[in-house]
Structure 1
Amino acid sequence: MTFTRWEGRSVIVTGGTRGIGHGIAELFARQGANVLLTGRNGETARAAADGLARSAGGGRVTGMGVDLREPEAIEAMAAEAVRLYGGIDVLCANAGIFPEKPLREMTAADVDEVLSVNLRGSILAVRACLPAMESAGRGRIVLTSSITGPVTGYTGWSHYGASKAGQLGFLRGAALETAPYGITVNAVLPGNVRTEGLVDLGEEYLSGMTAAIPLGRLGDTADIAHAVLFLASDEAAFITGQTLTVDGGQTVPESLDALAPPRS
């Protein structure tokens, strides 16, 4: 059996400066792909790219400031990937924000902010990358959704959950429209992954989340990155419009009691 060779392939990772996105960018770079990682702050994105270029080896890594709330910036991102690397083989639409806000206190601006980055930003990033993929007759698009929204809910993140569920509605239509061009569109649904943002929520939150995971640990960014790498690979060429939950079994038990040892 042969496996995908990533040398020379062009990969965009939005939200690649930290957390899951940084883990995705690192894995593709280690595999030899040329990576354009983005973040809202250009200086931070370039620093993250420089760090990966030194530590990961393999392919080229470039950082670029892209505000996903701005359609022109998204179009410039796609154009830059084509300029740097000659095309776009993979788009990892990963960038997302998750500000906590109770529904009673939520404003229209709060809703717009989350939807504009998480949902609209993903849609526009896909649209911007399509011309390069269509002309090549192939491409892989992988969205980073979440178990929160599509499968579960959590107090304070109803707008976030709506944005992540919306991504899945989008991907199914997008998968149908892009299939004739040899392009696949899929999504990973991470559970609780140990990232900077999760750690900021405190040890009590981390402990509670860990207790709910049958495998007994929080996810690592590499756990998600490997799932993304598979969906972006040649081996996944016949998979489109699908979701892959990567949560350590968190969504399997119907309650914490289900995790207790069976009674004799």
Structure 2
Amino acid sequence: MTKPRPQAPARQCLECQINLPEGSHPRRKYCSERCAERVKKRRHRQRQGHRTQTARLYAELAEARAMQEQHRAEAAQARAEADRERRKRMDADIQRNAVRKDNKRARETVGQKLKEVHYRLAAREAQQLEQFTGSAEFKKLSRVNAQLREEIAHRDEVVRRHVRQREEDQRINHELRTKLDQYIAVAQRMQIKGEAMFTVFTHWNQVMAWFFDHTQGIVETEEEAEWLRFWSYMHQHQSHIFRNGYMETSLDDEWGASNET
């Protein structure tokens, strides 16, 4: 007894999933023409959509490639410009270094020449100085120079002594004038008479005698000349003014009468 053959599962429509009728063609896939047409249209739309998307993608790719090429061109131009600038800087540096080296060599050459010239001048000056120092004219000039130095030193010493003497004379004259002013002020203020006046006059006479010996009668101011004239008058009329150590007449009257005569 044979086993029955298993039945194949019912085939379904690929579009609407409905079972196909029995006895249909093995290659049949759709239940009706409408399903087949609907699938055909959908596949057509899908193919058209793929083509449109592909074209768009190709266009975007072409645009991206164009932008990439543009960017590459700009980058290449920028690199070329940078290379040119770098080459310019390098050329400028090379030229500047060359100029520096030339200047250094020129300075060294000029310095060497200057040294040679200085050496020659120094040698020539030394030779001329040696020749001149050995000559009679140089010896004569040396003697004259030494003599002039001695004369200048002697003159300076004389001037210094004169200055010191003049300062000392001025100091002494100042002291004398101070003492005379003091005596005259005392005599005028106190109006001393008699024996006290004779004592003051004696002391003042000694001071004036020393002043006359020191100046030899040569005075510098009119006031000193007035003192000397007054002292001379007192010497001439001493016996008339002072008698027995006392003053009989007024000193101002006697001096005024003498000036009037």
The one of the two structures with greater contact order (alpha-carbon pairs below 8 A, sep at least 6) is 1
Which structure has the highest strand share of the two?
A: 1
Shorter-chain TM band? under 0.3
* Rg (Cα) greater in structure: 2
- State the TM-score, normalized to the length of structure 1: 0.22
- State the TM-score, normalized to the length of structure 2: 0.22
Which structure has the highest helix share of the two?
A: 2
